Structure 1
Amino acid sequence: MNLVREQIPVLGVDATPLTVGELIDVLAAFIDDGTTRTVVGHNLHSVTLTLSDSWFRELYERSDVVLLDGAPLLWLWGRGRKPRPESDASLMAYRLGSTDWIPALGTVPGLERIAVLGAGQQANDGAVARLKTLIPGAKVVGMPGEAWNTAKEDDAVAWLQAFRPQMVLVGLGMPLQEAVLQRTLEALPPAVYCTVGGAIEQLAGIQRLAPRWLGRMGLEWAWRLMLHPRRVAYRVFGEPWVLLALLLRRRLGLRR
């Protein structure tokens, strides 16, 4: 499949809009190829980091796939796309959070070794067990990511070098998971590295997913705010103003 980057109007960032089926085909090609690949996702938080941090922007620019993971980005892309998606339902097919495509990994031919990096011990164990049921016959191993530090990062690199996975789900939270990949990717064995945020806890059933109707309305932020007010409050109420300031500064700079 020819992967095409498309610009998101207003925000000035690029993404690789794919449906679940299209992504599975891409992952199958990556697994067959056997080289190092990265799959990341764009939401308003990642857009803010892309516009403010050069290292983060560099990782996204060199990633093989940048999924649309966020209703505002999806809507802006849909409005600017030619031809536009036929309906809201067809547009929503391009919004891919990690828990939208991970359950389909069992249909990726040749996927036999998966590493799960991140979350606490209980969540990591639960996600590993769930993946074993989703991908029968695959060897799935995990390493928790709590209390992350330099020593643990070195241990993770050595662990992955020994296991030689085909796919690694990196769920350390944004932007730590991206920083770890940026620092260590050259030392890591060839595999498809996917940043998945809180999906490890969600796969394990520890963190509840928002109802799908909330996702279709772009209100998942309200669900996360209700469940984790301290963790999410700044991203909901503070970060949008930071993003607005970055966009204004970028626009004024372009005009000059």
Structure 2
Amino acid sequence: MALDRQRIPVLEVDATPLRVPDLMAELSRFVEEGSTRTVLGHNLHSVTLTLSDEGFRDLYQRSDVVLLDGAPVLWLWGRTGKAQGPVMDYRLGTTDWLPALGEVQGLERIAVIGAGPEANAAAVRQLELIVPAARVAGLPGEGWNGDLEDRAVEWLHAQQPQLVLLGLGMPLQEEVLQRRLADMPPAIYCAVGGAIEQLAGFQKLAPRWLGRMGLEWAWRLLLHPRRVAYRVLGEPWVLLWLLGSRRVKRTLPGPGK
């Protein structure tokens, strides 16, 4: 059964709007099927990459689930009037749904790839508390390179997980999925960005009231100005240029007209 893929107005990308219980039900179905699935999320950074990078766009188009992550993406989708209940219930950043993984039926093996050794180990311990019936294994992703990527693929085959949390940051984690998904064992592969460090308590989450106002970007800019300054202050202008260019191309007459 294919999930309903919906167009996000203005941004010209598609997503699969779900609430936490809906996502847990889909993950339970994926676990029961035992096939390879991917779960991604859309924020303004991923939208910019989708519109500018063919490989990134193809990965998102083929993904089984594309969650509404960033507040602007959520608000624009909310204009469609398709939300059943509060629109904010459909905003699923990774830390919104990770605490609910204990509701996934049949989940017995989880793999966590990413972050440094200490954060990875702490995230594994947290997941063991969240899903006590599951065996959770971790592989740090610090200093990611070709050799570590090869070892990660071998490690996944040895672990045979049902759910993989891949937290290497965007776009590295998506590039790994583009390169190696066909080499990896069947599992649900979730691109989770910095959620491993957040789950481990190594990275502070924005207060919930800031999230409801769509101001998490200000929190990240305050805590990590060098890391996120371009994404917060510069990339939106790139996105506007990309969207404008696409609209101009559509209005220009084709060859021979």
TM over 0.5, shorter chain: yes
Query: Which of 171, 179, 183 is the equivalent residue of 1:183?
Result: 179
| Corresponding residue for residue 125 of structure 2 | 129
Moved over 6 A (4+): none
Name the TM-score, length of structure 2 as normaliser. Answer: 0.96
Is 2:133 aligned against 1:141? no
| Corresponding residue for residue 225 of structure 1 | 221
Q: Deviation per CA, 1:191-232, whole angstroms, max 9, x where unpaired?
A: 000000000000000001101110010000000011100001
Contact 1:225-1:232 at 8 Å conserved across structures:
yes
Give distance in 2, aligned partners of 1:100 and 1:182: 25
Compute the RMSD of aligned alpha carbons.
Answer: 0.9
SS at match of 1:226: helix
| Corresponding residue for residue 76 of structure 1 | 76
Is 2:33 aligned against 1:33? yes
| Corresponding residue for residue 255 of structure 2 | none
1:137 is displaced (CA, Å) by 2.3
Give distance in 1, aligned partners of 2:81 and 2:2: 17
Contact 1:78-1:85 at 8 Å conserved across structures:
no
Q: Deviation per CA, 1:150-206, whole angstroms, max 9, x where unpaired?
A: 000000000001111000000000000000011000000000000000000000000
| Corresponding residue for residue 19 of structure 2 | 19
Question: One-letter code of the match for 1:190?
Answer: P
1:37 is displaced (CA, Å) by 0.1
Give distance in 2, aligned partners of 1:93 and 1:140: 28
Alignment of 1:34-53 (within 5 A): 34-53=34-53
1:81 is displaced (CA, Å) by 3.1
SS at match of 1:109: coil
Indicate the percent of aligned positions where both proteins have the same amino acid.
68
1:255 is displaced (CA, Å) by 1.5
Give distance in 2, aligned partners of 1:147 and 1:58: 26
Is 2:164 aligned against 1:172? no
Q: Deviation per CA, 1:73-114, whole angstroms, max 9, x where unpaired?
A: 1010001234x555xxx1000000000001100111100000
Give distance in 1, aligned partners of 2:58 and 2:26: 22
Q: Deviation per CA, 1:17-64, whole angstroms, max 9, x where unpaired?
A: 000000000000000000000000000000000000000000000000
SS at match of 2:133: coil
SS at match of 2:138: strand
Question: One-letter code of the match for 1:56?
Answer: F
**Count of aligned pairs:** 252
| Corresponding residue for residue 151 of structure 1 | 147
Contact 1:17-1:67 at 8 Å conserved across structures:
yes
Query: Unpaired runs of 5+ in structure 2?
Result: 253-257
Is 2:200 aligned against 1:215? no
| Corresponding residue for residue 246 of structure 1 | 242
Give distance in 2, aligned partners of 1:121 and 1:233: 26
Give distance in 2, aligned partners of 1:254 and 1:45: 23
1:145 is displaced (CA, Å) by 0.5
Question: One-letter code of the match for 2:217?
Answer: W
Question: One-letter code of the match for 1:252?
Answer: V
